[in-house]
Chain A
């Protein structure tokens, strides 16, 4: 099959062994592979630390036609290393050589159940794409990312049906050379579960984890 081009997935979460960013990004990447794209994945927090690793990031970026950037929301914006990656790519793209035409699609997931918390991070990515001369293919925004917690979407059943539909629409659009449609954005931002359930389960989750560490009574400590 003739290649439709090359896609690089950049995962911006440091969570190991699994992150929700990776679940979302991997599903989309697989969709694009089925639509005739060659694919490659880099986990951003794994590649920082040496010059070779940075060069590898830039080389992988250079050989791609589409960049997929999937990251968790940290303090209302992209995590530090994702910003570092953007700074490097931006500088590299302005370092003299002719700008290759490339598209950027961003997927942000956050902890709070409302997807709108991600709006500022998406605006930052869009600004990055303008400054770096990338074509903005769009931004998908998911709230309540902990409900996925790094599990493969295909094994998750009905709860993620809107997420899957959104990513399928995004694959179709990218394969046709279009920006992702409004419908994909809207589907992704639909709550996975009602916010009161999320708050309840979240609080139970913290307590259960604390029990494991023997910190159940210390969760509200003020060490400073």
Chain B
């Protein structure tokens, strides 16, 4: 089973280190084949909003850079983990530069879900998705926004399972490990 971990930390910061290590350790211990990406070290152009990935080269972004490789790894994985400092309740710009590029994984055509318009799937199968945010200190409002954002993303991509959670930077290693284990159970990650 393949897992892809996208690390959205800002260069020169260490707030994600504990959660990142714990995610890699837990997945490896479960026998997963893990590939991780430190996004701040990668040149990924921002999405141009041109919809070329829907109409010009369907399913492939028109920008030929590492953003394309990441999208390919995500759709071919069984689990994709998105790790980010919780930034105003949402994702960091580093994680978001990669996430904005993944709309080529869905179809341009529409479908109604719970009375709201969304897009149809492009692929038959999608990876399970796990969203992990880290905050410097407890902040209920940011945490609420983060979990809502993950749920909204999941409603648009509709992965077979998804989970989200926020870790506080001063948690002990043990607490972080337990939180990660809980999230992995929620996305039904087994050996």
Contact = CB atoms under 8 A, between A and B. Distances in A.
Interface in A188-213: 195, 198-199, 202-203, 206, 209-210, 212-213
B117 A195 contact: yes
Interface of A: 13-15, 19, 45, 48, 72, 74-81, 83-84, 86-87, 90, 112-114, 116-117, 120-121, 123-125, 127-128, 131, 195, 198-199, 202-203, 206, 209-210, 212-213, 215, 218-224
- Per DSSP, chain A at the interface is helix
B108 interface: yes
Interface residues of B, number: 49
B175 to A, nearest CB: 25
A113 B46 contact: no
B149 A206 contact: no
B2 interface: no
Given A86-B88, A127-B89, A220-B122, 7 more contacts: A80-B100, A124-B89, A128-B88, A199-B110, A202-B108, A221-B58, A223-B58
B152 A112 contact: no
Nearest to B91: A77
Interface of B: 10, 46-51, 54-60, 71-72, 75-76, 87-93, 96-97, 99-100, 102-103, 107-110, 112, 116-118, 122-123, 141-142, 145, 148-149, 152-153, 156
A79 B100 contact: yes
Contacts of A213: 55-56
B133 to A, nearest CB: 12
